[in-house]
Amino acid sequence: MHLTVEQALSIYPLSEGKLIAGSGGKNRVVKSINVMDAPDISDWIKEGEMLFTTAYLIKDHPEDAAQLLHKLNGRGSSGLGIKLGRFWDSIPVSLAAEADELDFPLIELPYQFTFSDQMNGLFRAEMQRNTRALHAVLEKQKRLIRFALQSNHMEQLFDAFTDVIGYPIAVIGARGQLVYNNSGYPGPEVLRGWPWQPRNQRMRGGDWQAFRVPLLNRDKNAGFVLFFTTEPFDLGIEQNLFVQAAELISFHMNFNYQDYFERSLHKDFGMLIKRCLNNGLSIEGLIDYADKLDIGLFHGAFQCVLTDIAGPPDDAGARQGRLLRLKEEYLGHPAIHELRGIHVVMDEGLLSVYPADQAGIEKLPELLSACFNSLGFQGESFPKAAVSGRKTRAEHLREAFSESKETLRMALRWGLREHVVHYQYLDLSFLFEQVSKERMEKYCNNMLNGLLSKEPDYVQEMLRTLEVYLENDGHVNETAKKLFIHRNTATYRIEKLSEMLEVDLKKINDLLRLKLVFLFRRMLEREC
């Protein structure tokens, strides 16, 4: 039996009783029922056990009743039911007050029903609940078996498992990366206590509970899956279902994401892309190979991503090794795998080509950053990725590759903080790259003339405010959040800047002119 006190009080004939004190403990779990017929019953009580009594043993000594409550509470009892009318006409006020203080449920039992009537009612309800739960689990097991027998590729693998199990899940990779989470709880809360031991474990958060199962592949721990449930914390018969589901998730992840044939095919086609970009194969030949290999990469729009990892100039071997590690991380990440990209290590870095017309592609920068963090790169060796513009024809592959190279070059040259940079954000930079240093300096001084005459510390503070304001497309709230200042402070600074620089920060032309100021300042800083 694993009803809560509140649920038990809704079952006839106990529903004829009344919870007169200790309502704060109504969510205690009732695991069993016992009758109090011995003076030392509190020494034998089990956790979760509820006691029924006629008050015979405590009728003449109310102080013993209060002591009994403390003992029962200390032993983990779920509550005490007292049948009135035989020895007590009412429950002493002092005893009820003690129960309220302990949040220990104190129940007035209906006189017209025997203890066995009440116990039988609870046991029948529990049996019916267990029967329904068993049927539900068996039905879920049938669906899991049908799911396991499917041979087709499951693009929405985790959504499908959630639908079968009937509970939200979270899937965590071996290095603690949050691969999937539809529980509604934030990642840091779900990952509480990481790293975990590879064993089945119950978990509790602030207002959630889950059953955690390791994902084992040939005795190697490939991560964990968490099943979030609203049932009482003892999950009972569903634990076996969760373990079976974890085994199938592990199998399908291995089958779908580590399949040797698929990876070999993509490796071969990646080498063909490399030959094409190095002018060893025509674009027509590449398209022909793609059709023969049934790879639909160029059937629609696509875009290139070039990732490089800085390192000592004379350490080419170590750089190559880091790029290969990064490639394996891309291949092994389920969400990135679903984007159906082709990855190949080039002299310029790790090149990835993704179909651009698909759900989830907008999350690519976030997914790439997650891979960078999971590999533990630090300092100057931290990867930086450049994303080309969106191309609609295979003939534009070399153009997309060139855009990603140029974007990466500019990002490294200017020391941009972002780990993933888009070509479209740097197109103005390419346009003004040939502007002379003198012209840039003159333009910046003219635009900032009303500010640069102030105190140096004030100038730096206001320039930083203006830069963040422009980076956030003129949103004051975001500016204040990034600068850790109050919104009113940010608004005041923006108004002062508008006055000093004689610009209207609500006009597109003035915003563009100021954006050029910071673009030129970055270019000048890199040349110093």
CA-to-CA distance for 169 and 156, rounded, in angstroms? 13
B/e letters for 308-329, b = 16+ CB within 10 Å, e = fewer, are: bbebeeeeeeebeebbeebbeb
Q: What's the pLDDT score for residue 257?
A: 47
CA-to-CA distance for 244 and 250, rounded, in angstroms? 10
CA-to-CA distance for 174 and 83, rounded, in angstroms? 56
Those residues whose C-beta lies under 8 Å from the C-beta of residue 428, and which sit 6 or more positions away, are 515, 516, 519
Label residue 343 exposed, middle or buried (CB < 10 Å: 0-12, 13-18, 19+). Answer: buried
pLDDT < 50 stretches in the chain: 151-155, 233, 255-261
Label residue 501 exposed, middle or buried (CB < 10 Å: 0-12, 13-18, 19+). Answer: buried
Domain ranges of the chain: 3-122, 151-257, 260-430, 435-527
| pLDDT above 90: percentage of residues in the chain | 24
Tokens of 66: 């209060």
User: What fold characterizes domain 260-430?
Assistant: Alpha-Beta Plaits (3.30.70)
Q: What's the pLDDT score for residue 254?
A: 57
Q: What's the pLDDT score for residue 379?
A: 60
Strand partners, 431: none
What digits encode the pLDDT tens for the residues 416-428? 677 888 887 665 6
Tokens of 45: 């009580």
User: What fold characterizes domain 435-527?
Assistant: Arc Repressor Mutant, subunit A (1.10.10)
CA-to-CA distance for 443 and 473, rounded, in angstroms? 22
- Dihedral pair phi/psi, residue 504, rounded to 5°: -110, 105
User: What fold characterizes domain 151-257?
Assistant: Beta-Lactamase (3.30.450)
Superfamily of the domain at 3-122: HprK N-terminal domain-like (3.40.1390.20)
Q: What's the pLDDT score for residue 139?
A: 67
- What is the Cα gyration radius of the chain? 33
Q: What's the pLDDT score for residue 314?
A: 54
Specify whether the backbone of 76 is left (phi greater than 0), alpha (psi in -120 to 50) or beta.
Answer: left
Q: What's the pLDDT score for residue 524?
A: 76
DSSP secondary structure string for all residues of 391-457: B-SGGGHHHHHHHHHHHHHHHHHHT-S-SEEEHHHHHHHHHHTTS-HHHHHHHHHHHTHHHHTS-HH
DSSP secondary structure string for all residues of 243-263: HHHHHHHHHHHHHHHS-HHHH
What digits encode the pLDDT tens for the residues 241-252? 888 888 877 776
Handedness of CA 130, 132, 134, 136 (dihedral sign): negative
Q: Pick the closest to residue 322 from 312, 309, 331, 332 (CA basis).
A: 309
Q: What's the pLDDT score for residue 151?
A: 45
Length of the chain as a residue count: 528
CA-to-CA distance for 203 and 196, rounded, in angstroms? 11
SS3 for 54? coil
Beta pairing, strands 106-109 & 209-217: unpaired
Tokens of 486: 């109050």
Contact predicate 89/41, CB 8 Å: no
What digits encode the pLDDT tens for the residues 117-138? 888 878 777 777 766 666 666 6
Q: What's the pLDDT score for residue 22?
A: 93
Look at the block and give the residue holding tokens 């071996």: 174
Q: What's the pLDDT score for residue 407?
A: 86
SS3 for 297? coil
